[in-house]
A and B are shown apart, each in its own frame.
Chain A
Amino acid sequence: MLVPQNNYANLSSAAGLGLISFDENYIVVDYGCMFFDSIVYASRLCKKVVGIIPSSERLNTLQKRLVEEGIKNYDLVDADYKEQHFEEVFDCVIINCFLEQLLIRAKHGKSIFSDNKTRSKKNGNNPEKITIGFLKTVYKGLRPGGTLYLSYANKLRIRTLLLFIKLAIESLFIPISSKKAPSFISLLNVIYLFSYCLLSQKGLEKLLKANGFIDIEKYAVFPEHKCPLKIIPLSRLDECSYEPVQHLYGGGSLRRISAGVKRRVDRIIFNKLKLFGLSPSFIITARKAS
């Protein structure tokens, strides 16, 4: 039986990067290297890729993959994102899920690039400062006219929903209790953290504009940005059609039923109500002003 696809590395999970037309002369930097396929894909199409990778363990795994693929046009760097120590000026910056990592780790008082607690909470957990600082670094490293590609999961939706469910369950068993208070505070904290600037499209757009980026385009991504099957530009919703998409992993009847329910719910949310703010993930592309 012919199954030749198995002989080739399939990088389809990097389909989001198809939104950017890479040129063979470009030098690209990937902050976080969260998705290995993305860095492999970019290295195939560009002159050079620099990966700034958050842990030495991941760095070794990625290096192994790159060697396996026979890729040579890369540099992997274990460095703090704040240091502008690169000689190159980049044509494109890829940030896959890295902003979330940045904030989550900072919130827990950890260094971005190691697991040691090195930062004081007082200075380190202001999401606005962290995001602006990071965007400034990104901006400095980009050449005029260069492109920013940013993808992230809509965690506001997931985390808030999970916390609401948790609180609802708790309220069934604990009628009146002071134990509820910390949960509510935690919920508010999460909403603040994720809606203030990160994972709120408008907030992020504002931040990007304030930090010198132009031509900002936002995209809704389905079913997830790790392996997108559908990406819709939010500025062209009238011309785009949405049909629910899901990864098919087989499974039993329960899985099929839940997939069917999800399809129907998605049709109502996105097709009828057009609530694309509830999309599972987003991609933002922008350009540094020339």
Chain B
Amino acid sequence: MPRRNDVRKVMVIGSGPIIIGQAAEFDYAGTQACQALREEGVEVVLVNSNPATIMTDTNIADKVYIEPLNAETAKKIILKEKPDSLLPTLGGQTGLNLAMELAESGFLEEQGVKLLGTATEAIKMAEDRQAFKDTMESISEPCIESKVVTTVEDALTFAEEIGYPVIVRPAYTLGGTGGGIASDREQLNEIATNGLRLSRVGQALIEKCIAGWKEIEYEVMRDGKGNVITVCNMENIDPVGVHTGDSIVVAPSQTLSDKEYQMLRTASLKIISALGIQGGCNVQFALHPTSFEYAVIEVNPRVSRSSALASKATGYPIAKVATKIAIGYGLDEIRNAVTGKTYACFEPTLDYVVVKIPKWPFDKFVKAERTLGTQMKATGEVMSISSSFEAALLKAIRSLELNINTLEQDIYKPLDTETIRKKLRDINDERLFVIAEALRRGISIEEINEITKIDDFFLAKIKELVTMEETLKGYAIDTLTPELLRRAKKMGFPDVVIAKYTGSDRKEIKKLRQSYGINAAYKMVDTCAAEFEAVSPYYYSTYDQFSEVRKSDRRKVLVIGSGPIRIGQGIEFDYCSVHSVWALKEQGYETIIANNNPETVSTDFDTSDRLYFEPLTIEDVENIIETENPEGVIVQFGGQTAIKLVNALSDYGIKIFGTQAKDVDAAEDREKFDRILEDVGIPRPKGRTVYTLEQALAAANELIYPVLVRPSYVLGGQGMEIAYSDKDVTEFMEIINRVKQEHPILVDKYLMGKEIEVDAICDGDDILIPGIMEHLERAGVHSGDSISVYPANTLKKAVVDKIIDCSYKLAKALNVIGLINIQYVLYNEELYVIEVNPRSSRTVPYISKVTGIPMVDIATKLMTGKKLTDFRYGTGLYRNSEYVAIKVPVFSFEKLHDVDTSLGPEMKSTGEVLGISKDFHEALYKGIIASGMKLPEKGGGILMTVRDSDKTELLAIAERFEKLGYVLYATGKTANMLNMHGIATNAVKKLDEGSPNILDLISSGNIKLVINTPTKGRQPQRDGFKIRRKAVEMSIPCLTSLDTAKAVISCIEMERKSNGLDVVDLSVFG
């Protein structure tokens, strides 16, 4: 079946901001889709609200719209662009839901827009719980006993029938939002109420709980002709009960015999055929551990997180093939890009083991509930490849960047064996390490299996690792035999761990093993287990004799990627890494990428000339360097992951492209940096470096509260807090010191001014500032969590000049070659520097797009010797755009229980969106809407509880809300004050004032917006915390800064008077 010739212009919908359950994988899928379409000469119109993505680059699609992902906007774009088709299945659940909404409303048909790929009916059949069950029944595929309910009463009745525990799965929600396991009536009542509310169609599935069964997934492809194949199967090490996105996953399955493997494979093919999928699809099964009984858990009729993983695990480009199928091709007509010879109609076979471990945000949200269940909590994931399970597991562990290199964790040492035994029952992110400790204590595999239901096979492998750790402890470096060393390396032990156990250091171990000829060898991922010669330059390390890397004599550069998506380090750094590679290619370099995130474009094997899918520790990177012998390394684009290697790489003796290690250090080191500031004459908020609590308290009192307390060398303001009192300082110091601090702790005077941010490019002589951003919230809210406005529109010329001058001086003083990010605060008309990052930042993709300056491209070329004057953008501050582009952060609080939603110096957002318009208010409105905030309807209730210092400022805000026709609520003192000023406000009882109190009011559903400025601390027992959490649970927007509240008011005003906003395609920034 050749390609359809009625497809000439296709609209592709992206997945919007990064949230838990929907991360970078859809940028990868969407980018592949756009490329696959353009390869066929199809014009692509892309819409996505996320500016940090590669897919929203003007070189990926013909027309790019960074606009809110809602039906109204999509319709406008369709009317303007008149695409003939829409590709709905590559933008995650967000893209799919939007496409379905457009289709169901009849709009697509009206406009003659075809839905490509899987038909609407098929999607409904897979997504609608009841329709899916009926279909499975009709083809005799077993489902779990379950019932679709629309009321809590029905849920309770059905649960009585089938018995507890039951699982609640709301329909049409993402990453299992609102779902959970209920073991009794009371729990079910709570979970079902919540789940039904969150479901787009008010529907949830109540299902018999089969926790403990094996969870197996198949990635399946089907074309329009009916050809069906499975790309990959995967086995979750965590049995059914933990969301697959939160499970440790291994590919291919390890514990299934051929009979079981084929039984489920056949079932997958039967299902995808019955549903009539055209493209990719994911089928999840539960398999009874001691029989052939199985049940279909779920089918995703679209490209998913698992398909990104399967693509990287096998080398089979699922998104690309799905796109080609959508435009009419058969699987037997699409080439296998890996071999270049065979076709997409085959099944990859692996000759290695792949392990995926989720990256959870618990290192950041220390108080978050860590229990894993049916609702996903991970923000990202790492993948590793090796020829044994043990080595793959250890590689994955060190890819997580938790400073953990082995299974042995010191925190369990003081616990007695009974406590460890008890801890085995906790299903959380620590379980793997607890199991290892349990095995070390002699708890048997049988007992651990009894408790955890994790297959003995995996437990035995973990035991192998523990045994090796214990064995190594019995040796010193001079007694270590080559045999043992080789065995440890083959099992995946890094030099640093072997060194620790043998009382030596990493470099000594490395020297020793190299003297024995024990070196990393690299094998290729080729989809065919070496049966055919492959052209894919996609490698992983083993400790074998034979390496497959073909030496090349071209000039080469290694670009270090950014690892897993986490709060503070998102998809933007993948954007930067990929752009850097493209720029290097243009300069004639051969490019090498090292990264371990399967969700990304950078780990697509045709992005760089060579891809190393590896952990990003110094040892792993050194191994790559020794194999490839590149001219140098670029660490500027991979976020903290890459930049933190700069000293070690520099010591190792490899050339660092761009800003040098000593200058990176000067920006981080308080004393060195202060000296630089003094030299260039720029003030910074007064501060002290401290080591102990006593010093911290003394410093705080000397500087006068409020003060900012934080550890140095951290990401996304981790551990950073504003302290208003000695009590706060004491609490924060305790939390910070839970992790051993190698660097001093910083206590700074907190200046409550306007925050300004600059990303600049420097060639050593000149700088180019593409644009200046200002934050809508005053300083104190982390820049990643602030609403950020480009171009800064409230600054006086003198201030702008000062910013340009200071930025120039700082870049020069730090000898920056490439990118630099500087944060300023304007306080009492005085400019202070808060922070300097001599690397790419979160805002680089955003600013690149709205100024039309390819920042990463230029920065990379400067590192290879070009000058700013070689480009056409000049130096100094680039001209302002006539458009305003406003970045709005997006949070995933509903997925993370017990996390305080109040914004502060520690970053909490998972993603961002952009609103673009010529008008400031319109841009803000677009941004706020795109972020998913539901603006309160007229007549709705607005609850306001603010700290004393904010009360005066609240007046004006309350007045505007009143004028707009809202009903106001506030607690005692605030209500009094507002009423006194003639603003009618209902008084509400605080939590300790009896009921109905403030929480009851929020639960009642009358409140549509909460404004709560936090007092202090992050104690969950405080009222404010409870109010904010309640709001999250009720899906009510909760604003924790008055500046944000003002912005929201102007949006409401905007909405009232707007009669439709314009959509802007990025070509205006040419």
On whether the two chains bind one another, the answer is no
Q: Chain A interface (Cβ within 8 Å of chain B)?
A: none
